[in-house]
Structure 1
């Protein structure tokens, strides 16, 4: 089967809070692979079914590295400028191995007591100050920021600067092109400065280990070292900081689920997985893969050299894999969601994010049992012009 239809404009529209555009359900049922045209770059295929998404993300015949030689389809003016997210094996494998040990289940579980300690301190401060509190600024941001700072070896007191600069990596229209470039330059200069300090005074943190891998073992270039450090710093806090309020928002606006977790806190790990499946974190599909040979996908022939965008949020609502997929089911037992991606680019920090989300949600359910919105739901402010969905602020009471 082939298609000659005119490419459709994508994204389909602006994100509506955490609601998934209903057009994805129709596409999964009737047109699982369509041609789309994004604001920038060449036209692409859009994959919406679970199995097709997994194929695009996991089949080595689909390349991320190819984006460096093409005008990749994207929602932001700036094309991909390199780094681990635009590599294929074996180059990708070489860099990933350098940091993978820090994010194993065993290493992450060893961090759980410290994450719990940070979480309890933040909740203590919220209780001491009294309601209302901004769950974003007072809880969701400082928890993952503190953890990644300690793991990587970044001074926590610099958080206001690198948090502001991190927006450059996630902005579509929120920042001007000049601001994006300025912030990215600032981030790379900041990380290069931390690297220089590690050379002068070696440390045992993750950044110190990367510097040793560069200087003593020649396992990565200086540019790769700085880019990897920046990537870890951004990825280590941004998405988790968005998902904590997203989780709580969904639970408080569907209060029967908050009540269930209060009554059955042992469901928290399963609830985290279900919320990761249910919430469409990305504002739209990104990070296209290029076919390296002709491949049939979703009943359509994708030609060698054509890019494909995989819609993770749509895959996670595929009824053929997840019964009652549009329903939040905190008791869902079989949950092979692709919220952390799939294949060689499966999120390296997934174990860390899972642990932090479990600790955060479990602690809120246990200690702030009467948690509720402190402002009417329609008045909540959502991020705009960003690659991820989330609340700018989230006033809560208890």
Structure 2
């Protein structure tokens, strides 16, 4: 039996139904594709893959899709829903900022006021630190001057004693190394020893006659010395001992002053060192105060800038909120609605909605009122 041919009328009807089903599909796919490109939560490569398969997966009716096409549709739904969720999150965040506007403004005002107070305090600290550093500088200069004065007094007071020490040492040295060996006849070099004693006598202004007779007396052997030689030698020795004794007395009497001046120098040095350390600490504190003031001024500018920006920021937040709300409404009314419609599109035409017939309620007319009998005048009289 030959296969039955499909009637031409049936084929035409099928083609017409297919065209009717595909009406507006391209426009809806374009709507979905536009949103697909702007999804921020997915890699560009993933969005490109979904865009390339958009028409092949979402275009056919759900009954005509393969399992793989359904997976693509599901992924498309996740992307579009993520865009919707992102807009909703933006709206919620903006609404929270708007709701917290009064508190945020109060916070910024309080921080600006606190920054002003901090700058004032830091400025006062700088002024105080500058004054302290100046005072410590003056004290350090005075201490340095006091030390210089003490050293000068020490140098002047110790000069005579230092000279006395030097002269006494010289006398003792010549006495022990030259004069006594000559007197005792044990000098190794009588000529040099005599020269040293003679030089010493001239330096200390010994009697000229003694100095003239001294070399002869000292160079004679002990056995050949006469009474005059002995007299000369004894007088020279007495002169030497006199000067030694005088310098010893001078040094003894000047010891107290020597120690006092040394103590004064030591005390002045300690005070100068302490004042230098105090000055250095004050200078460091002053620099730290200046740095703190600078930081406070930077923070003050920042806080006032934040306060000044509050109004423009709130306007921008409100503008962003309106834009996000409009974008969400547009998404829900266009791309999201188009996606849902395409995802659920069926080859079967939608069942017509049942027509609800109006219910007519019949209302019975009220019964006519009963006629009252008419009585004659006679009857009424009765």
If the TM-score is normalised by the length of the shorter chain, which range does it land in?
Answer: under 0.3
Q: Which structure has the higher relative contact order (CA within 8 Å, separation 6+)?
A: 2
Decide which structure has the larger Cα Rg and report it: 2
TM-score normalised according to structure 1 size: 0.16
User: Would you tell me which structure has more strand in proportion to its own residues?
Assistant: 1
Could you tell me the TM-score, scaled by structure 2's length? 0.17
Of Structure 1 and Structure 2, the greater helix share is in 2
